[in-house]
Amino acid sequence: MRMLDWVTLMICFCIFSAVAFAHEGHMSEAPATVAVAPAKGTHDAKAWFTDTPLLDQHGNTQRFYSDALQNRVVLLNVIFTSCNDACPLITRKLKEVRELLGDKAEGVTFISLTSDPLRDTPAVLKAYTLKQGADDPHWLFLTGDKAQMELVLGRIGQIVPTPEQHSTQLIVGDVANKRWSKIRPDAPAAAIAQRLQLLTMPVAGR
């Protein structure tokens, strides 16, 4: 894997523009972050993202790279369940995106990571998915202890001093082919679905 690929990927993750759905009364932009591209080798992606063990909304262990990311088309975002403004709005939009994906939905994994692991236990996340109508077998809501979440969030370009200070940008990627991009959360649901559908297409067919 060429180092240039990873430099491009890390730039994608770590340069965040202004947040579209800012949390009321809090920072409207994610804090600046510094990323170091991983060393060359056959397991660069796994080494970078890490196989940090997290828990999903069902209490099952999910290794961040091997179980949640590897060989998948993914959409990642950050939430916390006690949020009353941006997070539920974005979650409902992503539910609409999954509906618009139609028969492609099973090929796209949504991963919502909590910025408030001290309160967002698997049971709390499960209740949130039911409340938001987001109880979907291809949608992971992940939590862990504070150190685990800080590590994983840092690897996707987020340093989150408080739960409210996470970025609301969406990150979409075709993990196997290293195709990544950011999408503003105020983008139309149809546009988000279209971008994900493109990522499910073979590279040679693009």
pLDDT, position 164: 82
Q: How confident is the model at residue 34 (pLDDT cuts 50, 70, 90)?
A: very low
pLDDT attached to residue 189: 98
Is the pLDDT at 52 greater than 50? The verdict is yes
Position 149 scores a pLDDT of 96
Q: Residue 91: its pLDDT value, please?
A: 97
Report all structural domains of the chain as residue ranges with CATH numbers, in order of start.
3-24+49-205 (3.40.30.10)
Distance in angstroms (rounded) separating the CA atoms of residues 117 and 149: 7
The answer to whether 74 and 110 have CB atoms below 8 angstroms apart is yes
Percent of the chain residues past pLDDT 70, beyond the cut: 78
> How far is it, in rounded angstroms, from Cα 205 to Cα 189?
24
pLDDT at 159: 80
Averaged pLDDT score across all residues of the chain: 83
pLDDT at 43: 57
pLDDT confidence band for 166 (50 / 70 / 90): confident
* pLDDT tens track for 137-165: 999 999 999 999 999 999 998 888 788 87
pLDDT tens digit sequence for 179-206:
999 999 999 999 999 999 999 998 875 4
Over residues 76-89, mean pLDDT: 95
Torsion angle of the four alpha carbons 76, 81, 82, 88, in this order, in degrees rounded to the nearest 10: 70
Instruction: Note the pLDDT of residue 23.
Output: 53
d(CA 110, CA 142): 11
The whole-number pLDDT of residue 41 equals 44
Report percent pLDDT > 90 for the chain: 70
Q: What is the mean pLDDT of residues 57-85?
A: 97
What the block records as the tokens of 57 is: 């909304």
| Measured distance CA(93)–CA(46) in Å, rounded | 30
- pTM for this model (two decimals): 0.82
User: Over the chain, what HEC string results?
Assistant: CCHHHHHHHHHHHHCCCCCCCCCCCCCCCCCCCCCCCCCCCCCHHHHHHCCCEEECCCCCEEEHHHHHHCCCEEEEEEECCCCCCHHHHHHHHHHHHHHHHHHHHHHEEEEEEECCCCCCCHHHHHHHHHHHCCCCCCEEEEECCHHHHHHHHHHCCCCCCCHHHCCCCEEEEECCCCEEEEECCCCCHHHHHHHHHHHCCCHHHC
Quote the tokens at residue 93. Answer: 């939009």
